Amino acid sequence: MVLKLEKFRADDFQLYYSLVNNEQVMAMITERALEFDEAKKDFEKIISFNSRDPLLGYYKILEKDNLEFIGLGKLELEDLEKKEAELGYMILPQYWGKGIASTISLTLIELAKLNTSIDKLYAIIDPKNGPSRKVLTKNGFKHKEYLEYEGLPGEILELKMKQIN
């Protein structure tokens, strides 16, 4: 399957909501599906963030030929001082186990390489999410620490960009 990334636009809320309102997708992220108002508020932040940088942001993952929506990929740099960007992805369940997470992770790493201010990528996963850990470690991420993130168990994995450039 050939994939395409496009930044989310203001008229893409329903696609985003189809992900975050899916209990299977959110089981390893927030442990619950997001309600409409909460998702709408988060989506407004995504659209604002997407306007800040041409490379960084939240992307729709699409099947290249028919533009079918598959999920979300993100590169988010919250603090310019730290020079660390978060890599993340969410994929609709019908696309799990097809290598899409690996492909998207590699694509996002390549995008991050183009932004020379990024020294490190990190990903936050549920410690029970073995498939995501496997995808990330296969792409060079190393375990950094376990912690509580927004009240939930989390594991941070990181990739030092200078080692892969």
Does the residue 18 lie in any domain? Answer: yes
Does the residue 142 lie in any domain? Answer: no
What total number of domains does the chain contain? 1
pLDDT digit string (tens) for 123-153? 999 999 999 999 999 999 999 999 998 889 9
Does the residue 160 lie in any domain? Answer: no
DSSP string of 52-74? T-SSSEEEEEEETTT--EEEEEE
Beta carbons of 11 and 47 less than 8 angstroms apart: no
- Domain carrying residue 102: 3-119
Does the residue 30 lie in any domain? Answer: yes
Does the residue 155 lie in any domain? Answer: no
Beta carbons of 10 and 51 less than 8 angstroms apart: no
Positions of the chain with pLDDT lower than 70, given as ranges: 80, 163-165
pLDDT of residue 82: 76
Beta carbons of 157 and 122 less than 8 angstroms apart: yes
Does the residue 62 lie in any domain? Answer: yes
Beta carbons of 109 and 56 less than 8 angstroms apart: no
CATH (domain of 63)? 3.40.630.30
pLDDT of residue 164: 52
Does the residue 50 lie in any domain? Answer: yes
Does the residue 162 lie in any domain? Answer: no
